[in-house]
Structure formats: structure tokens, C-alpha cells
Structure 1
């Protein structure tokens, strides 16, 4: 394991090493992460820097380096600080209800902190709170005929769907924004060229529209898992 990976593991999983030199520690990893989250929430992940976070805390950048080796480790701390705890499974909830609640809560986390979409891509070390999201899905599907890799893949599939919808929502922007106005303009263009795009025009004009992609896609994913579980149950059940 690289030195950088070791630093991230230590910061996320503890116990963190205490500064060995200088005055008595005046900062904590929690305060540093909270300051980074504040910057990212206000200005986006690209605005986060050791200098800006240190300034927000009224410390020097060099002081910050006594606690966090660099920006990559800072972002890892920010993710662990900002992401919600996954929903605890209700005692009477079946696997499908548990995964529906899981997806809804993850979507809410991305909506509150859109920069999490950028901070949680690529190979990286997850903290205990973030890893508990994977645990919830794998545990909910345990005992239903799926292999371990299949349960892990189900978590990846669900997270990918939620992320995709969150990315689309972020790109679309709020009502009245330039991005939203472009979507309205697109609808106008489609209606003007209905002869070329009759299927799209008819679908857009049909009542009952709205932002239902998250729920629609989630239900289709869960339908697929239910069908697989049913097949496995029939195949592996008593004969």
C-alpha cells in the first residue's frame, strides 16, 4: 500500500496520528472536514484548497498540513463527513423496501451536496460511513439466492442509477436557470419538427410527465432482481 493510501486509511479509520511537533493541537479532523464541506457546498469541489480551508478556520496552510497531508486526503475526509448514514432497515421491511429506501436516501445526499458526485468517482479508499452504504445492500440481499459478487454488483447498479439521475438533475439546473431554459427551448424545437421526431414529440406532450426517472429506473432494477431471485428460489428450493 502506498504512503498516500496509508495516510487516507489512517485518517478515515483511525486512530489519527497526533502532531508530534509544535504547540498543543488547536484543530481537529472534524473541524477541518466541516470547513472543506462548507467551501464545496458554496462554491463546488474545484474551489476546495488547503489554503482556502485553512483561511476559513483562521489558520495557516502549513498548520493544516500537520493534520492532513494533502488535498486528496482532505476530500476523503469531506466525503465521510458530508455523506449521510444509510437508512437503518426496518424490522418488517423486505429486501425491496430496504433498497428503495436506500436509493431515496442516497439521492437526497447527492441533492444536498452535489459535489459528492465528483468526489466519489474512481478507485479510492472509503471511510466506515460510506462503506456502510455497500453493507446495507449486500446484507438486504443476503439469503435470497444471489452470490456475493452478484449482491455487490446489485449495489453498484443501484448506485450508478442514482448517480446518473443526480448528474442529470445537476446539469439541468433549477427552474429558471439557463440550463432549464435550454430544455424548454429543446421542447419547442421538437414540436416545430414533429414530422421528423413524432415519437419524441408525442411522448413529451403526453400528460403525466415530470421528473420520474429515478423511481421508474429503480423499479425496473428491482423488478429484474426480483425475477432473478424468483428463478434462483425455484431452482435451488426443495424438489
Structure 2
């Protein structure tokens, strides 16, 4: 195990765990658990009760082990969460059945990604910020970048487009999947009376609600955003690649 504060060592340790290259415990009794068993149990707890319910103590108790003995397999909570994410996300999406066309393929990629976040909302918290990624998560990224690369986007554009699509998926998942959020109809009832009293102050909100803007199917925000994002990317791709500026296509235009 890396010394405290040795970030490089911690990174290597986490990568080895994620990629199945970590050494087995060399001291103590013969291992009776595996990293996969521990990770699967943690995922099951998170699926049922949320990420906050996952702890090394809780998992150790499930197997009848002491908490300290669990650290022989997984050095810490951050490492465990990284393992959970990669297991929960699963292998890269199969897009072979999607008709040719980068827009259709990328849209299907986004739909499958949203289904995972919707099924496992705790992944939103677990995948925030800079962190170590495992082979499954990198496989999802690779699949999206491959679509964009084949379409003709530059490496910089591929990266930025990927962030745009992922950000949209996460935003929709956050809005539609939060267990602590009110349902749309409940929200409408809760604020309806106040809006009626103060309609003059919030005319656009009132008009949107009365017009059915908040009574949409759960997948509609995703599809609307995809049409906007992919349409914009398609327009960018169609622009004349000849640029008279010395910076070429990499120069942003506003």
C-alpha cells in the first residue's frame, strides 16, 4: 500500500485493482474472499439503499469478516467505489445493430448510458470529478470517441463533443432519477397555488405549465437535447474546412 500522501502510489494501486493486476494478499490466512465478491456486494447495497449506505464495515459484516480483514483485498473506500463504478457500468455498448450514421449511433450510445444512470442513480455521485477509470468505463468512452472520429471530427472536437453529450445525459438522469425529488405532477400541485396568486411575476413559468411543458415522457428531455446537440455538431462538421486564419479549424468562432 502506498504511503499516506503518496498520490502516485495510490493511483497505481487503484489502477491495478481496476485492471485485475493487484497482488493477492501475501500474509495472513488463505483468502476466502475475492475483490469481485466484495465489489458485487457493495453494488447490491448501493442499488438498494444508495451510495451512502456502502461502507467497509457493512460489507465485512455481510461476509462475517472484520473490517480490517477486508482491507487486505480493497485498500480503501475510494478504491471500492472505483471498482463498483466499473462493475455497475458494464461492458461497452453494442452498437452494431444501429444503422450507419454517426448521429444515430451516438444517440443510441446516449440512450443506453441514460438507462444505466436511471437504473443506478448512485452512479451520478460516484462518477463526479476527476478519478481513476476502469476498463469498462474507458470502453464506453472509447465507443463514443470512435463514432466521432469516424464522422470526421478532430481529436479536440471529439473530446469536447463527448463532454457535451455526457453532460446532457447526466443532467437528464439527475432530473428524472433523483429519489429525493418530487414527481413532476406533485411539483405542479405544490407550486400551483402560489403561481396562481403571483402569476404576474412568473408569466413564462405559468404559461409553460399550462401548456403542458412539464407533462412530458421521461425520455423526451434526452431526445430534445440530442437533437439540438447533434444538429449543432453536424453543422460544425459540415462547415468549410478551409479556414483563412493561421489557426485553421482549431480556432473557435463565436
Flag whether TM exceeds 0.5 (same fold): yes
User: CA 1:143/1:33 → structure 2, altered by over 3 Å: closer, same or farther?
Assistant: same
Shift of 1:183: 4.3
How many residues align structurally? 234
Shift of 1:31: 0.7
Aligned match for 2:231, one of 205, 223, 237: 223
User: CA 1:179/1:64 → structure 2, altered by over 3 Å: closer, same or farther?
Assistant: farther
Shift of 1:197: 2.2
Q: Distance in 2 between matches of 1:234 and 1:196?
A: 49
Equivalent in the alignment of 1:190: 195
Aligned match for 2:169, one of 151, 162, 171: 162
Q: Distance in 1 between matches of 2:179 and 2:194?
A: 17
Please, which runs of 5 or more residues in structure 1 have no aligned partner? none
Q: Distance in 2 between matches of 1:9 and 1:218?
A: 33
**Alignment partner of 1:142: what SS?**
helix
The answer to whether residue 207 in structure 2 is matched with residue 199 in structure 1 is: no
Q: Distance in 1 between matches of 2:79 and 2:188?
A: 38
Equivalent in the alignment of 1:3: 9
Q: Distance in 2 between matches of 1:74 and 1:21?
A: 21
User: CA 1:158/1:67 → structure 2, altered by over 3 Å: closer, same or farther?
Assistant: same
Structure 1 contact 117–167 (Cα < 8 Å) conserved: yes
User: CA 1:133/1:232 → structure 2, altered by over 3 Å: closer, same or farther?
Assistant: farther
Q: Distance in 2 between matches of 1:64 and 1:17?
A: 15
Structure 2 contact 13–22 (Cα < 8 Å) conserved: no
The answer to whether residue 25 in structure 2 is matched with residue 12 in structure 1 is: no
Equivalent in the alignment of 2:122: 115
Shift of 1:180: 6.1
RMSD over aligned Cα atoms: 2.3
Alignment TM-score, normalising by the size of structure 2:
0.84
Per-residue CA distance 1:73-118 (angstroms, 9 max, x = gap): 0111110111133322226331111111111111111111111001
**Alignment partner of 2:151: what SS?**
coil
Please, which runs of 5 or more residues in structure 2 have no aligned partner? 1-6, 249-254
Equivalent in the alignment of 2:252: none
Shift of 1:233: 6.0
**Alignment partner of 1:26: what SS?**
coil
Shift of 1:190: 2.3
Stretches of 4+ moved more than 4 A in 1?
Answer: 177-180, 232-236
Per-residue CA distance 1:178-219 (angstroms, 9 max, x = gap): 886344312443244333222221221114741421211111
Structure 1 contact 145–233 (Cα < 8 Å) conserved: no
Q: Distance in 2 between matches of 1:179 and 1:63?
A: 46
User: CA 1:181/1:68 → structure 2, altered by over 3 Å: closer, same or farther?
Assistant: same
